[in-house]
Amino acid sequence: MTTSNPIQIILNENKTNSPMVNIDIIKSPMKYEILELLRHGEMNFEDIVENTKKSKASISMHLRDLRKEGIVNYKADLTDNRKKIFYLNSDFLGSINTNNTKTLKKDQTKSLIDEFIEKGDVEYIILLTHTCKSLLLEFGMDISPVLQKIGNHIGEYLFSQLKDDDLDTFTKNISKYWLKNNLGELTFNINNNIEITCTDCFESKDSAIIGKPSCYLEKGMLEKLFNMYFNFDLNIDEIMCYSMGDGKCVYQLQP
């Protein structure tokens, strides 16, 4: 069985080569160990060497690299000016240990979302997801694929409540659900393709203008609803969005 080293994700606001996404991925086992020590408090050079059981030359090299990247810094030890006290100069966002990963089965993930919705917590799960999205965007992290996947799960659950053999009735059921849960006002234009317009969109109406679509949760919900209705996969694109400076969100679905 092969093993891989844990990975740390660091928000490094001191980077100068990437003004938009200030994220460092730390894969080096030795740097990982040093940062784990510093994550729990400041530490002088000698203590780092003692805790890692590595040579002074090796620790010095890794600390130099981390300082060069702006991830750590040091200050003089007030009790002994010959010593340096090192500390994290960046924010720890999380870590991934691929050797100790527990994966939820697909039906387990679905049942968790179903439980939320069955309890009438649709607005809560959307608010929670939207809040997490906003916080992660502050760190330059784009989780749009995750949001769309969550939207797919919600759409799959909603289909059993909203489905109808008549397409016009089906779209009316979707519109009523959106209004009831303060998700926005939907209108449908159905010809060779399906065009869906959402005004007062819950996901982007109050968002900053970033020049690209941002409604991946809603996109995932609508995508799954219509894929299940027609029983085949449709391509969905958001061609207008509040976050693009438009006064509405518009989706196009086509085979």
The predicted model gives 151-171 an average pLDDT of 92
31, 86 in Cβ contact below 8 A? no
pLDDT at 91: 73
Burial of 32 (C-beta count, 10 Å sphere; 0-12/13-18/19+): middle
The predicted model gives 48-73 an average pLDDT of 92
More confident of the two residues 5 and 174: 174
- Within 10 angstroms of residue 108's Cβ, the number of other Cβ atoms is 9
pLDDT at 122: 65
d(CA 56, CA 242): 55
Least confident of 26-35, 130-139, 216-225, 246-255: 130-139
pLDDT at 139: 61
Q: Which two tokens stand for residue 208?
A: 């900053």
pLDDT at 13: 60
CA-based Rg of the chain, rounded to a whole angstrom?
A: 24
Least confident of 4-13, 41-50, 145-154: 4-13
Percent of the chain, pLDDT > 90? 44
Topology annotation, domain 103-254: Muramoyl-pentapeptide Carboxypeptidase; domain 2 (3.30.1380)
Give residue-wise pLDDT tens across range 124-147.
677 777 677 777 666 666 778 888
Give residue-wise pLDDT tens across range 191-210.
888 999 999 998 899 888 88
> Degrees (nearest 5) of the Cα angle 133, 189, 169?
90
Q: Is the pLDDT confidence value at 20 over 70?
A: no
pLDDT at 19: 41
196, 187 in Cβ contact below 8 A? yes
More confident of the two residues 171 and 17: 171
pLDDT at 157: 84
Q: Which residues contact 118 (CB under 8 A, 6 or more apart)?
A: none
pTM of the model: 0.63
What are the helix (H) ranges across the chain?
A: 29-39, 45-52, 56-68, 106-118, 122-138, 144-162, 167-180, 216-230
Topology annotation, domain 7-95: Arc Repressor Mutant, subunit A (1.10.10)
Least confident of 134-138, 154-158, 217-221, 247-251: 134-138
The predicted model gives 60-75 an average pLDDT of 90
What is the average pLDDT score of the chain?
82
For the chain, the structural domain boundaries read 7-95, 103-254
pLDDT at 9: 56
